[in-house]
Amino acid sequence: MEYHNKQIISMLKGLFMMILMIMGTQTHAQLSSDFYAESCPSLFPAVRGVMQRAVAKERRMAASLLRLFFHDCFINGCDGSILLDDTSSFRGEKTAGPNNNSVRGFEVIDKIKSRVEKLCPGVVSCADIVAISARDSVLLLGGPRWSVKLGRRDSKKAGFTAANSGVIPSPFSTLKTLINRFKAQGLSVRDMVALSGAHTIGQANCLTFRNRIYNESNIDLSFALSRRKHCPATSGSGDNKKAPLDIGSPTRFDHSYYNQLLDKKGLLTSDQVLFNGGSTDSLVGTYSRSRNTFYRDFVRAMVKMGDIKPLTGSHGQIRRNCRRPN
């Protein structure tokens, strides 16, 4: 009898583990590129139209919307929480350290949402709109195309404390910190180096690279001197003056970012640590030589990042307004 009971308990444990595995698989299986094929067939053209106008008006906006996706996914998963304004019951993520006066593009997401709501009311999540806009940002600046997995739902609350906890790597990060922060999200070293290539577009504030151009030694001197012209050494002076992350082609999505690193012209400390005698040097070299390899790995990493803890099924909601819960 005792042996029989042990058998039953063992079988129940096995069944329980199988159910957990199936549930975990279904969470990601519910994300698919054709999720809205029937419920909102005009979704992609609608998003693309707004994106084209926004990027034509300001090329930098593409980089901002790509960054918005990254900052959303790293805080409690890709759930659109970064879009939420403060409410009486929670504080939004917009004023957290890594985002305050830095993350932007919310008005473009609002315009996309408004357009999509007119076509397909209450169907498409804000989280998915952020994911599509990130892909289109890359595409509109000459980068690779990929199928965006969709089916995420929106969170009902934000993660201000989580956003301030250090999960988003700072511009001053060491290589070890970068590796660990990405690993915590299920992303490999290769994913991290490929995703860092997003810095082939966009700009950074003087505050984030002042120490690098004045105090670090692993930097090309002529590059440092040129950056100093627009970024004073004194803290508090010119903090918000901007410089392109990629001086070679700042508004084109290509692989020149990695060539800059080889020349010790990475603008941020967290850029140059990727090529500084460490474990990622060879990958930087590979991407500098092969745009296709970079594109392939970047796309894989973007899809993988988009899979970070999505809300699906009955979890979360489809917000009518991306800035507040229903």
CATH number at residue 47: 1.10.520.10
Model pLDDT, residue 15: 53
Q: Binding site for heme b, residues? A: 199
* In-domain check, residue 290: yes
CATH number at residue 239: 1.10.420.10
- What contacts 1, CB < 8 A, 6 or more positions away? none
* In-domain check, residue 1: no
Helix H or strand E segment including 179: helix 175-183
Q: What is the pLDDT along the chain (326 residues), one digit of tens a residue?
A: 554 555 555 555 555 545 444 444 344 448 999 999 999 999 999 999 999 999 999 999 999 999 999 999 999 999 999 999 999 999 999 999 999 988 999 999 999 999 999 999 999 999 999 999 999 999 999 999 999 999 999 999 999 999 999 999 999 999 999 999 999 999 999 999 999 999 999 999 999 999 999 999 999 999 999 999 999 999 999 999 999 999 999 999 999 999 999 999 999 999 999 999 999 999 999 999 999 999 999 999 999 999 999 999 999 999 999 999 99
Q: What single letter denotes the amino acid at residue 99? A: N
Same domain flag for 158 and 189: no
- Domain final position from 166, 183, 207: 166
* In-domain check, residue 61: yes
- Domain final position from 166, 198, 232: 166
Same domain flag for 146 and 47: yes
Q: What single letter denotes the amino acid at residue 262? A: L
Model pLDDT, residue 141: 98
Q: Binding site for substrate, residues? A: 169
What is the domain extent for residue 200?
173-303
- Beta pairing class for 203-205 and 242-244: antiparallel
* In-domain check, residue 266: yes
- The whole-angstrom separation of Cα 124 and Cα 153 is 8
- The whole-angstrom separation of Cα 296 and Cα 191 is 11
* In-domain check, residue 74: yes
Model pLDDT, residue 30: 83
Same domain flag for 159 and 126: yes
Same domain flag for 195 and 298: yes
* In-domain check, residue 9: no
Q: Binding site, residues? A: 72, 77, 79, 81, 93, 169, 199-200, 246, 254
Establish whether 4 is a catalytic residue: no
CB atoms within 10 A of CB 27: 17
Same domain flag for 142 and 50: yes
* In-domain check, residue 214: yes
Q: Which of 4, 71, 230, 315 is catalytic?
A: 71
Q: Are 244 and 231 in contact (CB under 8 A)?
A: no
Q: What single letter denotes the amino acid at residue 242? A: K
Same domain flag for 78 and 177: no
Model pLDDT, residue 7: 55
Q: Binding site for Ca(2+), residues? A: 72, 77, 79, 81, 93, 200, 246, 254
Question: What's the whole-model pTM score?
Answer: 0.90
- Domain final position from 131, 166, 201: 166
Model pLDDT, residue 23: 45
Same domain flag for 45 and 160: yes
Q: Are 318 and 85 in contact (CB under 8 A)?
A: no
Model pLDDT, residue 28: 45
**Residue 194 DSSP code:** H
Classified as helix, coil or strand, 85 is coil
